[in-house]
Amino acid sequence: MPKPYRVLIVEDEPLMREYLAASLPRLHPAFVAADAAHDGLAALTLFESERYDLMITDLRMPGMDGLQLIERVRGMGKALPIIILTGYDEFEYARTALHFGVAEYLLKPLNDDALRETLTRLEKTLSQRCKAATLPDDLTPQNIAQFVATCFTDSDKEHTELAERAARYITTHFTEPITQTDVAEALGVTPAYLSSVFHEETGESYTKF
């Protein structure tokens, strides 16, 4: 069974944080609450050391609000889908967030049906993310980097970091006649292990690179 997508919950109301954390795996088994933050600053701190596949954030929070958080997250180069939570009187405010590539917005008070439908849509989007990305025939370091960035999942941090390091090594030595063994030795792992991790993370065989 595939590892569940890691979700970061950013919400200043404790009861809402608890509801979301408990509801994610109950409403859709493909998602799990990996971490929760009580405001935007705490969320940014988590992003410095953790990886997530989805963020759910409230808009109205003390200190750094949801819009400021989303802008900072995008500025960090994070392209993960984002769900925003908002009240009926904040619709115009929520529309502004759409300019930052927010995937969905949900109105408070939340209910199971709305959250389940949203998670179902996003699961399809996430599962198709790598399938929709194709490695072009005219390989360049930029094309490889774009493909890997699109296909990496964040559900296994150790494997993802290894695959990213492999991709960086490949792009750095792009003009050299390197082999899978060369890359594996540079990363301190066996060729067989590198191949299995690379395929798990990108859906492509290492040899295609």
The domain that holds 92 is classified in CATH as 3.40.50.2300
pLDDT at 155: 45
pLDDT at 126: 83
* Assigned domain for 136 exists: no
- Which ranges in 3-84 belong to alpha helices (H)? 14-27, 40-47, 66-75
- Residue 36 shares a structural domain with residue 118: yes
User: Based on C-alpha coordinates, what's the Rg of the chain?
Assistant: 19
Per DSSP, the three-state class of 86 is strand
- Residue 110 shares a structural domain with residue 172: no
- pLDDT means per 10 residues in the chain (209 residues)? 85 95 96 96 94 92 89 87 81 68 83 94 80 53 55 52 70 72 78 66 52
The domain that holds 171 is classified in CATH as 1.10.10.60
**Domain span at residue 96?**
5-129
Q: Taking the chain, what is the end-to-end CA distance rounded to the nearest angstrom? A: 27
- Residue 89 shares a structural domain with residue 165: no
CB atoms within 10 A of CB 200: 16
| Length reported for the chain | 209
* Assigned domain for 135 exists: no
Domain count, the chain: 2
